[in-house]
A and B are shown apart, each in its own frame.
Chain A
Amino acid sequence: MNLTLFVWRQKGPGAQGGLEEYQAKDISPDMSFLEMLDVVNEDLIKDGKNPIAFDHDCREGICGMCSQVVNGVPHGPRERTTICQLHMRHFRDGDALYIEPWRARAFPVIKDLIVDRTSLDRIIQSGGYMSVHTGGVPDANAVLIPKHDADTAMDAAECIGCGACVAACPNGSAMLFAAAKVAHLAQLPQGRAEAAQRVCVMTEAMLKEGFGNCSNHYECQAVCPKGIKVKFIAKLNREFLKAELRSCGTPEAGTPSRD
């Protein structure tokens, strides 16, 4: 296959960027999208040009590093598929592809298609964990968890933190991400203890990092490679209401306890 690519090139943070045209020639339909870019990059290197910088790690759809918007859709046109797991057979010979980085104030571009997503890490650090005692390893399944709760928690826990939800959201909101974490932990008995503080500090951290607010557009759900649903945002909203009833935001409730 032969394709025309329009790729966002940007030298560094804050630099002026722009779309540049490249030809991807003799691409096998069995290649992944990133392998296609590898081929283009090899040509660029042979010509003594700067290769296109893009994020990736596992290339098997589980690490959440790859982050490209293809023709206006984060992770490209296939549902529930990361860009590293997207194969070229889903495109047609002669297609023109616009490849851009995640765009949001909270995700500044580092270079070309690579953005800084540490803002998501800081949301996690603010409260996206449950405290455990150190010591001997507890028995597996010592705490009974109803099957439905375990399944629901697992659905939310599928989030790989790639940030596609933010990239797709017209408001640059990280609500689906925060909701997946809040819902995952609040669904489990071990996570209930800190549930109230967690929802308060994580939503607060989200705004502090420069993400927007949710307007119920649901673009996030449409592009999530792990199929995280917006029902978890509804759950986050419920958790927030419950937390407010216990005076969320008071100094004691605002800081998750560490012991």
Chain B
Amino acid sequence: MHFLKSTVGRKLVMAVSGTVLLVFVVVHLLGNTTIYSGPDGINAYARALRSLGPLLWAFRLILVAMFILHVFYGIQLTLENRAAKPEAYAVRKHIESTFSSITMIWTGLLIGAFIVYHLLHFTFQVTNPGISASRHPDALGRPDVFTMVLLSFRKFFVSLIYVGALGALGLHLLHSIEGSFQTVGLNSDRTFPVIRKGGRLAALLIYFGYISIPIVILAGILG
């Protein structure tokens, strides 16, 4: 198809799929904050999610499709871009590009690897079945997500993996929230400074929002 061969078309697929993933990341964060209301918060939230049934699967399918598109074109575009710049300068000065903008493929791949681990850990619960929420319901018969998360993040190493991987996500978003506005054509002299600041602020908020959970648990403040 013409659109999927074009340089702008594929960037648009990246931007739209990335934005759908971003919406998920934000909703997921908001959902996770229910942990701050204790077992009654997050366990009730987990049950409510499961009760969505087929709807939950529809969302999951959309996410998987977006993820596959995003990863496929991310890798394809990166390979093309490297091939278009075969020789490096002996001396190179970056003026506008940032650490986050030139490491997009690496932070992306790290996120990918983390998602696999994260799904095995908290969704399929195979990495540590001893604390699996689905096998250990709470007093009200709900999956005890609260205890599972608590026991997991009390292990320093597990928390470290989460804080590190979320750092990759934060870096990815530091460049990409702003970038997706540019890709879909919403940048102008007027909007650019707002989009740049807003995009970076949002990336930082998401990062600190997520890592607050393992940190608060490790520090013994929660639980």
Contact = CB atoms under 8 A, between A and B. Distances in A.
A19 B90 CA distance: 9
Contacts of A110: none
Given A231-B188, A249-B2, A216 B8 contact: no
Interface string B86-100: 111111111111000
A170 B102 contact: yes
B188 A172 contact: no
Nearest to B7: A213
A212 B10 CA distance: 12
Contacts of B104: 215
A216 B77 contact: no
Interface string A201-215: 001101100111111
A73 B97 CA distance: 13
Nearest to B92: A72
Contacts of A71: 91, 93
A221 to B, nearest CB: 7
Interface residues of B, number: 43
Interface stretch (B19-27, B128-136, B175-183): B175-183
A98 B90 contact: yes
A218 B97 CA distance: 6
Interface in B167-189: 175, 178-179, 182-189
A106 B178 contact: no
Q: Chain A interface residue count: which class?
A: 35 or more
A204 B6 contact: yes
B154 interface: no
> Chain B CB within 10 Å — which of A71, A217, A244 has the most?
A217
Contact of B89 (A69, A169, A240): A69
Contacts of A214: 7, 11
Given A104-B85, A238-B185, 15 more contacts: A71-B91, A98-B89, A100-B89, A168-B95, A170-B97, A171-B84, A172-B85, A203-B7, A203-B8, A207-B7, A211-B84, A216-B179, A217-B97, A230-B182, A237-B184
Please name the 6 residue pairs, one residue from A and one from B, whose CB atoms are nearest each other, closest first: A249-B2, A212-B84, A238-B185, A72-B93, A171-B81, A172-B84
Interface of B: 2-3, 6-12, 77, 80-97, 101-102, 104, 175, 178-179, 182-189, 192
25 contacts: A73-B93, A100-B90, A103-B87, A105-B83, A169-B85, A170-B85, A170-B97, A172-B85, A173-B84, A203-B6, A207-B7, A212-B81, A213-B81, A214-B11, A217-B96, A217-B101, A219-B97, A223-B95, A230-B187, A234-B185, A237-B12, A240-B6, A241-B12, A241-B184, A241-B185
